[in-house]
Structures are given as structure tokens and as C-alpha cells.
Structure 1
């Protein structure tokens, strides 16, 4: 099976067409869908989970979750630190965080079906210390604030590729992130649609690069590179 395609910079379709989530060796990579499209996807995944116990895709694969948890462990992030998973989807990463010992974990998604799916998976795991909310991160409620850690695995990618005023939506995302994250808090982002340099530019206001995380490399046609970018920013 081929490695996932990383669509970067000028290679993007300007209107977001032809871009989709693909299952590859390293997990799923972004697809543009309207909100109702994502809700339909999670309704199907909820039905599949109820019938077969299949939790669905893990965006960027299991190694992406391990990479982030290891970083948190390395930097001795307290287990009672407040953690927000932006665009939690099926909530599998929330489950991993809770199993590792994090006790103040919140997942948001603008799809009610995603939150319903997350809740079903979390309930089956017997976990009760995970908070779930239906929230549009581009227009978050005032109660969504004060987080020590914010995590994004693919949500910024999906927002960025939206053909409806993507530039403005990216600005809204950064503004929302600044509102919900504490000063000196950390933002961990994994992206397959943006290079390190592009992400540095997107988050240049109010954030500084704290660390670049190692990610898998690929070679094709005599060229090599990273299939994803994984960066840690700190709010200034």
C-alpha cells in the first residue's frame, strides 16, 4: 500500500477540490467535506461501532498519538493539566490520554455525530473523566478557555482546505486558539498539508516554536521528505 500523499504549498487545489482523507500506511490524510458531510461520516462510523465495535480511522495513525504522549511525558506535563483535543472525531486520542493518566481532558467537535460516537467509545472503555462538547472551534463559546495544552491532528488541515474563504477561516482558527490556550500553554499540531515553514508563518502572531517532533520520512522519485509535520508551539 502506498504511503499517504502530502499535499503542500502550491500543490494544493486552490478551491480544495480533489482532496480527501485516504487510508494509507500512516493513517488518514485530509479530505474537504462540508459540515453535513462530516456528520454523515460519523453517523456511519457510529453505526459501524455499534454493530462491529470498530472505532474507525485514527488520523495519522497510532504513532501520531504515541509521539504526542511521549512529548508530554518527556516534558513532565502534569497529569492534571487541562488538555483540549480540537476536532476530536471518534475520541480515540482522548481515550489514550485518559489511560495514560491525564485527568482533565476535553474533546470538541462541530459534528454532533462525532461527539455521540466519542461518547459511545469512551463509555465502552469505562472512562468517566473525559468531557465532550459540540463546539465550532472557529466560534467557540466563552466557557471554552484556560487550557494548558491544545492538540490538533488534522482539524487545521481540514479547515485550511475549505473552499469557502479558507484564508479568513485560518485567521479565525489562530484567534480562537489564542483565546482558549493559557499564556505559556502548548499547542501540538500534526499536519500533512503544511510544511514546518508554512506552519511557522500561520502561527507567527502570539506563538513561538518550542520544538519540532520527529516524523516518518519517505522517498519517491529520488526526492525525500517528511510525510507529516509535527510541531509544538508555545503561546507568548
Structure 2
């Protein structure tokens, strides 16, 4: 398990920051429907790489054209909108704890006529009362990165990073896939955080690597885990 005590807190981990950001993006969208907000990790083309990965692996485990997909920390919903444009035509749900995020994403869905296929819900994924059902695919594009900076404790004692894998297990079907992209954690650290008796590393997405001081690395990593039982 990653020693999360060493992680610094940041405004990027606060609900206030995201509420204010998405409220601004919603106002921008209302003034200009072409402005749907920023896309995280666009400089690494991570979103398209995640979509290409799922398309390339259709037929493996529970990855099918009609697979149910949930995006944790969906933001403006861009990942789901792009996914809907591919072969994936199953239930697509975006979850975010920011009400402004949900308002923005829902407004975009309605404006583009895809609200029948892509829906959004406000929820605290760490609440014991949260019960959205199970999904074939769970996505995370930078959400663990953000919440790891919150300093929030679950039940007053457990770091959110320590319980995150349990949240994924709760909503993932057997043989389902969890695909996560991170810039805060290395591949080894993500495996330490996510792998459990049920969740096992399956495949990774390749990104350009750099070398510094004789050590090779990448600025971003994406890993797919499969729920084995």
C-alpha cells in the first residue's frame, strides 16, 4: 500500500475548488456551446488512449459494445461523450461529488442530444449509503489523483486512497475491468494501491518514456485491473 501520509494536500482535492471550476465552465458553456471545458491529460492524449484500449480489447472479459460503464469523477463528462461516439452503446454513467460538474455534464448531454445514452449523478462514492449497482467497466481519469490530495479521512481514520480499491470492488461486476489513469502515482504505486485479493493487474497502456539521471520513467500511466471473483 502506498504510504499516503507523504502526499501533500492541495486545493485540487477540495470540493470547493471543483464546484467553482465547473460553475465557471457551465457559465462559459452557456455563453458558447462549443466551449465544453478542459480535457484532463490532453497533452498525453490519455483520454483517446483509454478509449482505444477498450476498443482494442472488445471481447476480453466484460468489454463488449453494450457494456455498462461508470466514470468516477466524471467532471465535464468528456470521456463518456467520446466513448459514446465509438462502438460502446451500453449504459454510460458519470459520477461526481460536485453538483456543478453534474449540471455542466448534463447540460452538454442535453445540448448534444445524447442524454438518453449518457447520464450523470452527484454522489459521495465513499458513503456507505451509495449503491449505484454494478458495472462491467469502471473508469478513472485523474480522480484518484485529485482525491488523494484532499486530506480527507473516511470514518475519521482511513485515508481515501486506502479505501479506494474497495469502492471499485463494490461496483464492479465479476470479470469486469477497472481502467485508471494517473499522473500522481507511478505504475508500481498504483498496483500497490489497487490490487487486492479480487482486483488484479491485467494490462497497461504505453506512453512515451523519458530518461533522467539514468532512470527511465513516464509522466503518466494507465493500468487495467480485472475483478477475478
- Write the distance in 2 (CA, Å) between the matches of 1:119 and 1:75: 29
Q: 2:195 aligns with which of 179, 198, 204?
A: 204
Q: Are 1:228 and 2:220 an aligned pair?
A: yes
Per-residue CA distance 1:25-74 (angstroms, 9 max, x = gap): xxxxxx62321221111101101111123111111117212111111111
Q: Are 1:68 and 2:54 an aligned pair?
A: no
- Write the distance in 1 (CA, Å) between the matches of 2:123 and 2:110: 20
Rate the CA distance shift 1:143–1:15 in 2: closer, same or farther, 3 A: closer
Q: CA deviation at 1:191?
A: 0.3
- Write the distance in 1 (CA, Å) between the matches of 2:94 and 2:152: 25
Q: Are 1:97 and 2:99 an aligned pair?
A: no
Q: Is the 8 A contact 2:123 2:130 kept in 1?
A: no
Q: Are 1:47 and 2:27 an aligned pair?
A: yes
Q: Which has the higher contact order (CA 8 A, sep 6+)?
A: 2
Please give the root-mean-square deviation of Cα atoms over the aligned residues, in Å.
2.3
- Write the distance in 2 (CA, Å) between the matches of 1:224 and 1:232: 21
TM-score normalised over the length of structure 1 = 0.83
* Aligned position for 2:111: 124
Please state whether the residue corresponding to 2:45 is helix, strand or coil: helix
Q: CA deviation at 1:102?
A: 2.0
TM-score normalised over the length of structure 2 = 0.85
Q: 2:209 aligns with which of 187, 207, 217?
A: 217
Q: CA deviation at 1:87?
A: 0.5
Q: 1:147 aligns with which of 127, 130, 135?
A: 135
1:169-180 aligned within 5 A: 169-180=160-171
Stretches of structure 1 that go unaligned for 5 or more consecutive residues are 1-8, 20-30
Q: Are 1:187 and 2:159 an aligned pair?
A: no
Q: 1:134 aligns with which of 114, 122, 130?
A: 122
- Write the distance in 2 (CA, Å) between the matches of 1:49 and 1:73: 30
- Identify the range of structure 1 (54-63 vs 166-175) with the bigger mean alpha-carbon deviation: 166-175
* Aligned position for 1:107: 94
Please state whether the residue corresponding to 1:194 is helix, strand or coil: coil
- Identify the range of structure 1 (166-175 vs 149-158) with the bigger mean alpha-carbon deviation: 166-175
Q: CA deviation at 1:15?
A: 5.9
- Write the distance in 1 (CA, Å) between the matches of 2:87 and 2:131: 24
